[in-house]
Every structure is written in structure tokens, then in C-alpha cells.
Amino acid sequence: MGHRIAPWPHDVVFNSDGTDANRISTGAKDDMDLATVQQVAPLARRLGVDTFVLDDGWQAASGDWEPDSPQYPEPRGKFPPRFPDATFAAVRDAIAPMKLGLWMSPLSFNPSSATYQSHPQWACAPLGDATAALGALQPDDSSNEAGIGFWGANALPHVQARIEDAIDHWGVRFFKFDFLAWFDCAGQNDLWGLHDRFLAMLDTLRAKHPGVVFQIDETNDYRLFPFESVSRGPTWFQNGAPGPERLLHNLWQLSPYIPAYALGQKALAGDSYKRWPVDTVMAAALPSEILFASDLRTLPPEVIDAAAPWVAFAKAHRRELGGVTFPLLDDPLKLGWTALQTWDPEAGRGVLLAFRQDSAEATKTVALRDAPPGRRFVLRSAPDDAVVGECTSEQLRAGVPLSVSQPRGAAVLLITPAT
């Protein structure tokens, strides 16, 4: 049986969403300029990040989607240009060898954008015109800073052209699409017409640029989740600063129906590494798209160094982590023993992740699912890949005894066929 989902690069991602103290913004835009990129990029490399994503703030104005630079100044004139050039050459030098990613609001625009001024008929009448007017009245407020006017379907050829310009001339290999919403637009489309034309554009882009990842931010509305989005790329699934129990609950609840590796969930968010061991925080992140979205400059060096081996393990074992995921034991939100099993039943390989949480029991036997009969398996610990034993298919099905000496600890076993 072949893959039914066209693959995309399963990268470890940093997103600058949390790098924001309103130093060079007043609303939704973050604080990422070149100097900040140069401070954060070495920390992302130290963690093992593959893709460095500039969130809302890189663009002078949504709708035009040009880098905030001397060539394309931010239209309010409130802040100096963030970047010295209009092709991200300096940013790409600063983040190398990481790939560049960008946040984008493909269906929204800022009323001060040159595109809207030149093509007001592309706005979604009447709602898009109304939200654009609100943004013009309060240009510094929250998401208005980016732009909350809504396009109709007639703007999509322009949107696609801007995305392809970023791919072809700026080296962008990852897009986080936000602010998606579907509306009836007088003279252009009905609600489902906009939905269908957007997906057709997305599928065209994926076919032409198979090495580019398109992530859908669905934390506010879930307008494509689950199957339309996860069959095309990863999602930005969880806002805020969730602890391991919440990340595990999302995976436990949605598996095996939704690919766990498509759920973009924040690792080391907030104070989670203070309330839980770093090893547990990172173990909980392994089955999903590992996403760092905090200001990395606030992480203690010892936390970064403790997390990096887990990132390396995830990258070395994408095959074992990228299969179907089974929920085992009990719901993580009950804070007792819980477990997940990522698994390729035909190859007989995967990862068992068990979490003691607040249970008083130090040992738990965890039975695995779909172990092919008549085989032997090697068990290795994570993240060091040390061999800790062998077992048979029958032993996997009967249950593997796991001991975790401290509450809130975790045990992770890589399971591969014995040769």
C-alpha cells in the first residue's frame, strides 16, 4: 500500500510569533528585524531547527506582501525598515543553513496597500470593504496592523503570483497561512466558490513546488481542519503555552484518525520546562510537527542543550515517528499514566512513548497494537539510541513493562526489527 497523502518535508520549525514585546509594533506584528534575526538564529541552529519562519511583521503591508525594507517602507511611517533589502538576502545569510519561511494572510489585505488602492474591486463586497474601513479607522489596533480587509476570489491570481515570487526570488520554502475565512462576495463568488478556488490555488502551488510546505493556521476557526488541511501540509494547531498534558491530549484524542505528524504544536512553550522535566516536554513533542514559537532568547542555555538531543532524535527517526499513531492507556488530561504508539505495521517499526505524569505508580505495562506476528524486535532508548533489549511480537502485544522513577517523567522506546 502506497502513501495516500502526498508527502511534504517534515521539518523542525521555529516561528517568530512569540518574539514580540511591541518594540517595533503596536498590534499583531512581531519584533523581528534583521538584528533580532541575527540574535535568534544561532539559538535556533543550536536546537536543530530546519526552517526559520518570520511571522506577522515581515511584510510592509498585507496585500502587497513585500518585505518591510527601504524599497517598500511600512505605510504608516511609524517605524524604520526591518530589513535592509527587498529579497531577504541578509536574512537568508543570517539563518543559513536553515530554510526561510513566511507568515502570510492570503485572503486578507491592509487598506493602505498599493494593491488594494489599485484594485479595490478585488475586495469582498460588502464585508471586505467594511473590514478594510475598520482597519483604516484603527490602523494600529491588534490584527488591523496587518490588515483585516477580505479579498474575493478575483484576487487569487495576484495572491498566487506573490507566493510564487517569494518562492522563486526570495528562497521561501515554508508558508504559514493565517486569517483564512470564506464569504459570499457580491459579483465574485459565493462562500463555497471562494473555498474551492483557494484550494485549487493551493493544490496548484503544491504540484509546482513540491519542496515547499504550506501550513494552515486553524487555531481560530478550523475552516479546513481536519482532512482538507492535513492532506496538504501541517497545521498550526495550538495557541497559547500548552503543557505536555495538553499536547499529548490533542494527539491522544485525534489519533489514529488524524496524522499526528501534521499537528503543529509548540514545544518548550511558556513555563512548561519549569513545571515538567525538559525530557518529558520534548518527548511529548516527538509525534507531532515540532514547533518552537517562544522568544528563544528567554530560554536558559541548559534548556536548549537538553532539548537539542530530542530534536536530533526526531530528525533521525522521522520514518518511525511518521506512521499511524495509536492512543494507549488513558486520556493524558487525567494526569495518570498515558502512552502513544507511532507505528508502521507492515515494516514492524515505530516508537512507544509513555508518560507517568502524576501517577503514584512507578511501573506500568503497556501493550502495543498491530505488531506483526512471528518477529523479533530491538528496543532502544531515546534520545541516545542505546540498545536496552529485544522482544517478540507476542511480548509487544502482551505488554512492555516500563519504569519511570520520578513523577512527570517519560520513557521513550524506539522499536525496530531485529536483523
> Per residue of the chain (419 residues), what is the pLDDT tens digit?
455 678 899 999 999 999 999 999 888 899 999 999 999 999 999 999 999 999 999 999 999 999 999 999 999 888 999 999 999 999 999 999 999 999 999 999 999 999 999 999 999 999 999 988 988 888 888 888 888 999 999 999 999 999 999 999 999 999 999 999 999 999 999 999 999 999 999 999 999 999 999 999 988 777 899 999 999 999 999 888 889 999 999 999 999 999 999 999 999 999 999 999 999 999 999 999 999 999 999 999 999 999 999 999 999 999 999 999 999 999 999 999 999 999 999 899 999 999 999 999 999 999 999 999 999 999 999 999 999 999 999 999 999 999 999 999 999 999 999 98
Q: Specify if 264 maps to a domain.
A: no
Q: Specify if 281 maps to a domain.
A: no
Residue 313 CB neighbours (<10 A): 23
- CATH number for position 397: 2.60.40.1180
Q: Is 101 helix (H, G, I), strand (E, B) or coil?
A: strand
Looking at residue 1, its pLDDT comes to 40
Tally the domains of the chain: 2
Domain boundary among 198, 220, 236: 236
Q: Specify if 5 maps to a domain.
A: no
Q: Specify if 306 maps to a domain.
A: no
What type of residue sits at position 343? W
Domain boundary among 215, 236, 257: 236
C-alpha to C-alpha distance for 309 and 290, rounded to whole angstroms = 13
Give the structural domain span for 385.
324-417
Residues 6+ apart with CB under 8 A from 358: 335, 336, 407, 408
Q: Specify if 159 maps to a domain.
A: yes
Looking at residue 223, its pLDDT comes to 85
Q: Specify if 316 maps to a domain.
A: no
C-alpha to C-alpha distance for 194 and 21, rounded to whole angstroms = 35
Could you read off the pLDDT of 345-361 as tens digits, one per residue?
A: 989 999 999 999 999 99
**DSSP string computed for 144-176:** GGT--EEB-GGGHHHHHHHHHHHHHHH-EEEEE
Q: What is the dihedral of CA 1, 319, 228, 198, to 10 degrees?
A: -110
Is residue 31 within 8 Å of 18, Cβ to Cβ? no
Looking at the structure, do residues 226 and 340 belong to the same domain, yes or no? no
Looking at the structure, do residues 152 and 25 belong to the same domain, yes or no? yes
Q: Specify if 137 maps to a domain.
A: yes
Radius of gyration of the chain from Cα atoms? 23
C-alpha to C-alpha distance for 130 and 105, rounded to whole angstroms = 18
Q: Is the peptide bond before 383 cis (omega within 30 degrees of 0)?
A: yes
Indicate the pTM of the whole model. 0.96
Looking at the structure, do residues 84 and 194 belong to the same domain, yes or no? yes
Torsions phi, psi of 185, nearest 5? -125, 115
Q: 376-381 and 387-392 as β-strands: parallel, antiparallel, unpaired?
A: antiparallel
Is residue 45 within 8 Å of 98, Cβ to Cβ? yes
C-alpha to C-alpha distance for 287 and 264, rounded to whole angstroms = 10
Looking at the structure, do residues 39 and 158 belong to the same domain, yes or no? yes
Looking at the structure, do residues 94 and 206 belong to the same domain, yes or no? yes
Domain boundary among 236, 261, 279: 236
Looking at residue 78, its pLDDT comes to 87
Looking at residue 2, its pLDDT comes to 52
Burial 179-204 (b: 16+ CB within 10 A, else e): bbbbbbbeebbeeeebbebbeebbee
Q: Specify if 313 maps to a domain.
A: no
- CATH number for position 170: 3.20.20.70
Length of the chain in terms of residues written: 419
* Cell matching residue 358: 502524576
Could you read off the pLDDT of 362-412 as tens digits, one per residue?
A: 999 999 999 999 999 999 999 999 999 999 999 999 999 999 999 999 999
In the chain, % helix, strand, coil (3-state, to 5) comes to 35, 20, 45
